[in-house]
A and B are shown apart, each in its own frame.
Chain A
Amino acid sequence: MQRAETLLRRADGWVFAAEDARRLAALRIGLCLLLALRFAITDYGTVAREPGLFQPHTYMHLFERMPSPEVATTLQVCGIVAALAAAAGLAFRVSLPLAVGCSLVLNGMLNGAGRVIVGDAVLTLCLLVLLAGGSAAREAWTLRDPVRRALGASGSPAVSPTLEGVRFGWPVRTAMVVIALAYFFAGFQKWRYSGLPWVTSDNMRWILYASSDSHSHPNGLALFVADRPVLAHLFAAGSLLLETLFPLVLFVPRLRWLFVPGAVSMHLGIRLAMGLDYSALAATVVIVFVDWQVVVAWVRRSVATAPAPRAAPR
């Protein structure tokens, strides 16, 4: 009992540790730009034209029927503008809730057409965490001050002091926990429903054969792996290990160098072999787990130490 309490206290201390404001700002910029991109490239009009197939899920019960294509387009445009504004830290108290609201309705429509949109679920959950963090995410790396100055407002400091605090830390760490849990439970469910035969049986070969056969053109990569049982077992074992052990990245940060590229590679492999798009999930993992302030500092150092370009020879 005392051990459990100690563990809980340590977990609490980890989640609510102080963090640099720029780390949270990087999450804001990355997640909101990704959301704007998802709005821009996803076709919501097709499901909006099919009111007969509408099977409401959870909050979509609030709508009597599938929103019309016109409503879907309006939400899409609103969502893009709001997400871009939120990424820039502009009108943040309005722009982020608006962008997340548009996302919930539009993705709810896609789910209502009979298919659970898993790829965007983690992005949405991380955005909800960002939303719960209030205005903390707009304290750094924002265009608010330049825009205010351009509009003629005065009184803004030219350089913001470096901020650090608990309110910048917990949203970042909660987003990390959400992603770690998502991967862990994807692995857990495989252990639960299939056990070791998920790896040792021909399960992966059947998945790949079935996927290739379901497309108009056979998939060479899927068939290459499916035709080689040993290779199929290796890929199955790799996926199951990566998913089950993913939470280790929370406790051993150095493992992020292994697990984050591993997860991105897995999603890329699934895309190439099966045509399933988990790019939103892969991008969310990179946005949340990469320490962007270190990347920015490294880029700045590299640019500063780069030799000045020489004049072109005449």
Chain B
Amino acid sequence: MFLTAVAVCPLAGLNPWPFSNWELFSRPRSDRQATWTAAAVDHAGRERGYRFNSFPRGHRGFEVTMTHFSEHSATERDAICAAWLRNASEQLGPSTQLLRIYHLTWLLSDRRGDRAAPPDRAPAWICSAKGARAAR
């Protein structure tokens, strides 16, 4: 039974930890990259970069969550946004009013020294005390 579960999970694409589907870097990567980023906005409308991955482990779920964010119900989106905004306020201070979430795209082959060229940034979502709304 146990060994069957170890073998079936990868075949069925299931990930019930500690069993795993072992899809480690298995999908082909391409030159074109896309990700999400967030910026905190204060009372005066000033924007400040908010790096979810600057905190150990806790916010690693940001990009995973954003990939399917639009598929969530409005209530779920509001709840996720409220949690993120609360954390941003705790980290950056109570003047934090909202979080702007951007979709970034860039080419890995377009290098500027040791780094890729700056990405194209498109506003996607706004997290405020009222909940989540699409930026466009």
B108 touches A206 (CB 8 A): yes
| Residues of chain B lying within 8 A (CB to CB) of residue A198 | 26, 28
B57 touches A124 (CB 8 A): no
| Interface size grouping (class) on chain B | 35 or more
Answer whether residue A132 sits at the interface, using C-beta atoms and an 8 A cutoff.
yes
B1 to chain A minimum Cβ distance, whole angstroms, is 10
Docked Cα-Cα span, A288 to B28, in Å, equals: 32
A46 touches B57 (CB 8 A): yes
B58 touches A178 (CB 8 A): no
Docked Cα-Cα span, A194 to B30, in Å, equals: 11
Which of B38-46, B80-88, B95-103, B128-136 forms contacts with chain A? B80-88
Docked Cα-Cα span, A281 to B56, in Å, equals: 20
Answer whether residue B122 sits at the interface, using C-beta atoms and an 8 A cutoff.
no
| Residues of chain A lying within 8 A (CB to CB) of residue B83 | 50-53
B134 to chain A minimum Cβ distance, whole angstroms, is 21
The 8 Å CB contact of A209, one of B7, B79, B108, is B108
Q: Residue of B at shortest CB range from A207?
A: B29
Which residues, 163 to 186 on A, are CB-close (under 8 Å) to B?
A: 174, 177-178, 181-182, 185-186
B61 touches A53 (CB 8 A): yes
The 8 Å CB contact of B17, one of A52, A108, A214, is A108
B20 touches A118 (CB 8 A): yes
| Residues of chain B lying within 8 A (CB to CB) of residue A213 | 108, 115-116
Which of A91-99, A109-117, A153-161 forms contacts with chain B? A109-117
B27 touches A193 (CB 8 A): yes
B22 touches A49 (CB 8 A): no
A115 touches B3 (CB 8 A): no
Q: Residue of B at shortest CB range from A179?
A: B6
Contact (A186, B58) CB under 8 Å given A117-B17, A125-B6: no
The residue among A49, A207, A213 with the most chain B CB atoms within 10 A of its own CB is A213
Answer whether residue A210 sits at the interface, using C-beta atoms and an 8 A cutoff.
yes
Q: Residue of A at shortest CB range from B111?
A: A209
Contact (A114, B17) CB under 8 Å given A132-B2, A188-B10, A209-B116: no
A177 touches B26 (CB 8 A): no
Docked Cα-Cα span, A111 to B17, in Å, equals: 8
A53 touches B26 (CB 8 A): no
Contact (A189, B22) CB under 8 Å given A46-B57, A110-B57, A210-B108: yes
Chain B, 57-68, contact with A by CB distance < 8 Å: what is the 0/1 string?
111111011000
| Residues of chain B lying within 8 A (CB to CB) of residue A117 | 17
Answer whether residue B21 sits at the interface, using C-beta atoms and an 8 A cutoff.
yes
B26 touches A50 (CB 8 A): no
| Residues of chain A lying within 8 A (CB to CB) of residue B16 | 57-58
A55 touches B61 (CB 8 A): yes
| Residues of chain B lying within 8 A (CB to CB) of residue A57 | 15-17
- 27 A–B contacts from the bound complex (CB under 8 Å): A46-B58, A49-B58, A50-B59, A51-B83, A52-B82, A107-B18, A113-B58, A113-B59, A113-B61, A114-B61, A116-B20, A118-B22, A125-B18, A128-B2, A178-B3, A182-B22, A185-B7, A186-B26, A188-B10, A190-B26, A193-B23, A194-B26, A202-B31, A206-B29, A206-B108, A207-B29, A209-B111
Closest CB pairs A-B (n = 5): A114-B61, A52-B83, A218-B114, A189-B26, A206-B29
A interface with B by C-beta (< 8 Å): 43, 46-47, 49-53, 55, 57-58, 104, 107-108, 110-111, 113-118, 120-121, 124-125, 128-129, 132, 174, 177-178, 181-182, 185-186, 188-190, 192-194, 197-198, 201-203, 205-207, 209-210, 212-214, 218, 223
B interface with A by C-beta (< 8 Å): 2-3, 6-7, 10, 15-31, 33, 53, 55-62, 64-65, 79-80, 82-84, 86-87, 108-109, 111, 114-116
